DNA sequence: AGCAATTAAATCGTGTGCGATATAACTGGC
DNA sequence: GCCAGTTATATCGCACACGATTTAATTGCT
């Protein structure tokens, strides 16, 4: 053995996840630039297109983000007039999120993005699903270990 | 169909990668706190334990990071006296990175971290490898689409 | 040799991310 | 009804992460 290092970067599953995340980010960026969104903003919009009227906490749970990350992000979406934020009258601690007309209108142009991207990657639907399900298993295992 | 949204967050491979990355981060944090390193700093150290004397650019290529990210990170590692940075006399544009004795000494305590983590996740080596290889395929496909 | 083009790091501005803390609103026990 | 404890966001400080730009060094063309 010429290499004495017991830690090899390429053996790390965490590094594979980390690198794939960067690769997605780089590929998404030019497509999202046209929508005027960043990658996390895009994911937040996707979650809201699935169903708005949720609280900041519920959206955070969905996306796996803290209020310290979401609050500034949502304020930017509000400044862009895509989302509106309002205290819930039933419980003034909570802030409920709704899509504006402009926010809803963005869903059309945004629809083609994931298909464009998977097409560009040249991966088959089968490969795609296998990796996605593997990652979901992984995420669940890590979350269990954390809990 | 009761759901009209054509974009479902859970269908997104990119979201699965994004979430798994967060999950790793959360699980690594308490283990790395003991070493005084952040997660990206840890990956940089792993790369340097594999072989130091490389330039900032070479390390960036290995990790998939730009100099604008690496330079401040490396300055922090230098401030912790784990790494030293020196202009290459053969080409003064380049900065070569070497581990200090303290940096090399950290490899011992760091060794157990990945094993601790995979053990905690409760995943088998087989599952682990399957996901890692799938991700590497994915990363390569995305990089090809980007290039 | 001399100057334009290229290359390697560093710097700057913006936008995540998180832990710790603060603030404001609700809930329970009495 | 009041006060202690809890809960939901927001704020703050720090550390990535990148694109655009800058600075300094090298290369290449003539």
Q: What is the pLDDT of residues B49-89, one digit of tens each?
A: 999 999 999 999 999 999 999 999 999 999 999 999 999 99
Distance A100 CA to C28 C1' (A): 39
DSSP secondary structure code for residue B55 in this structure: B
- Cα–Cα nearest to B135, from A1, A24, A50: A24
Residues 108-137 of A with CB under 8 A from B: 110-111, 114, 117-118, 120-123, 127-128, 130-132, 134-137
Report how far residue A144's alpha carbon sits from residue B19's, in angstroms, rounded to the nearest whole number.
Answer: 14
Model pTM score = 0.92
Contact between A74 and A86 (Cβ < 8 Å): no
Chosen from B27, B138, B143 to mutate, greatest number of chain A CBs within 10 A = B138
Report how far residue A96's alpha carbon sits from residue A86's, in angstroms, rounded to the nearest whole number.
Answer: 5
Per-residue model confidence (pLDDT) at position A3: 52
Q: What is the pLDDT of residues A64-94, one digit of tens each?
A: 999 999 999 999 999 999 999 999 999 999 9
First-last CA distance in chain B: 39
Per-residue model confidence (pLDDT) at position A2: 44
Whether the predicted pLDDT of B8 surpasses 90: no
């Amino acid at each position: 053995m010429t290499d004495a290092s017991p830690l090899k970067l390429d053996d790390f599953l965490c590094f594979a996840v980390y690198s794939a995340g960067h690769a997605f980010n780089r590929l998404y960026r030019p497509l999202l630039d046209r929508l005027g969104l960043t990658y996390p903003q895009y994911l937040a919009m996707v979650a809201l297109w699935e169903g708005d009227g949720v609280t900041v906490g519920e959206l955070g749970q969905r996306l796996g983000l803290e209020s310290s990350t979401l609050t500034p992000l949502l304020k930017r979406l509000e400044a862009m007039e895509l989302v509106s934020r309002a205290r819930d009258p039933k419980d003034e601690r909570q802030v409920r999120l709704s899509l504006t007309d402009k926010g809803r209108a963005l869903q059309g142009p945004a629809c083609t993005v994931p298909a464009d991207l998977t097409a560009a990657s040249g991966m088959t639907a089968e490969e795609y699903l296998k990796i996605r399900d593997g990652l979901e298993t992984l995420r669940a295992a890590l979350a269990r270990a954390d809990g």
